[in-house]
């Protein structure tokens, strides 16, 4: 590990210890942090069963005995990158033809490749997020445009319906006027009613200015109901 640390320092790679959690060496390569562990490989050996254990195993379908294996250190060191990207080489060990200290150059090269891979994946995630945000923005913009257009259509239909009602009302007023003219004539009360009725037709008609009405003040009574 000292050899790796010295090599990293020579290459201006930041070396630190994990401030929390397990004791690990942390290398900052191209702005990316990687945790490294140096362990000694152990070998597992199965011990010989005692005579009593052999008899018990022969009489039972399922048999468990403690301390079945013993573990012995091998003196072989293993350097492992704890948080390496998936699919990339992340450990180096002592071998018959190559010692761990001879693999430090490969380890540093792999760490540099890991940093590039992590940056690439981060860039891909950010690009997907950017595209999602852009699609979300376009959907929201489309939603606002659709709602605005629907409001315009609804207003148009409402105005058309109001105009039809105003024309129907004017036809009715004209009929009343004709009936009165052909019968008793139009007196002051009838003339006043006809004027009032014409105002109501104008209030319905969206193509003319709406005359004032006491109905405009209905909203003032809303808080007293």
pLDDT digits 0-9 by tens, 10-27: 656 676 666 666 657 787
* Most trustworthy range by pLDDT among 67-71, 86-90, 146-150: 146-150
Residue 148 inside a domain? The answer is: no
Contacts of 196 (CB under 8 A, 6+ apart): none
pTM: 0.55
Greater model confidence, 183 or 175: 175
Residue 176 inside a domain? The answer is: no
Residue 90 inside a domain? The answer is: yes
Residue 84 inside a domain? The answer is: yes
List pLDDT tens digits, range 23-36.
577 878 888 888 87
Residue 170 inside a domain? The answer is: no
Is it the case that residue 166 has pLDDT exceeding 90? Answer: yes
Residue 102 inside a domain? The answer is: yes
Residue 198 inside a domain? The answer is: no
Is it the case that residue 212 has pLDDT exceeding 80? Answer: yes
Token output for 78: 């293993």
Residue 222 inside a domain? The answer is: no
Number of structural domains found in the chain: 1
Is it the case that residue 90 has pLDDT exceeding 70? Answer: yes
Domain span at residue 78 reads 2-118
């Amino acid at each position: 590990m000292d050899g790796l640390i010295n090599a990293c320092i020579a290459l201006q790679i930041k070396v630190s210890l994990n401030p929390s959690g397990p004791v690990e060496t942390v290398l900052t390569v191209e702005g990316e942090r990687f945790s490294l562990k140096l362990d000694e490989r152990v070998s597992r050996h199965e011990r010989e069963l005692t005579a009593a254990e052999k008899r018990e195993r022969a009489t039972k379908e399922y048999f468990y005995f403690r301390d079945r294996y013993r573990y012995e250190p091998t003196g072989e060191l293993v350097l492992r990158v704890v948080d390496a990207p998936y699919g990339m080489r992340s450990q180096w060990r002592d071998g018959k033809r190559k010692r761990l200290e001879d693999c430090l150059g490969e380890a540093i090269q792999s760490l540099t490749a890991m940093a590039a891979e992590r940056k690439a994946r981060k860039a891909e995630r950010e690009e997907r997020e950017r595209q999602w945000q852009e699609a979300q923005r376009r959907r929201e913009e489309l939603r606002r445009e659709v709602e605005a257009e629907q409001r315009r259509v609804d207003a148009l239909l409402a105005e058309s319906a109001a105009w039809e009602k105003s024309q129907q009302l004017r036809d009715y007023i004209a009929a009343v006027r004709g009936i009165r003219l052909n019968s008793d004539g139009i007196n002051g009360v009838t003339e006043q009613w006809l004027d009032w009725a014409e105002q109501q037709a104008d209030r319905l008609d969206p193509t003319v200015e709406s005359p004032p009405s006491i109905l405009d003040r209905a909203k003032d009574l809303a808080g007293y109901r």
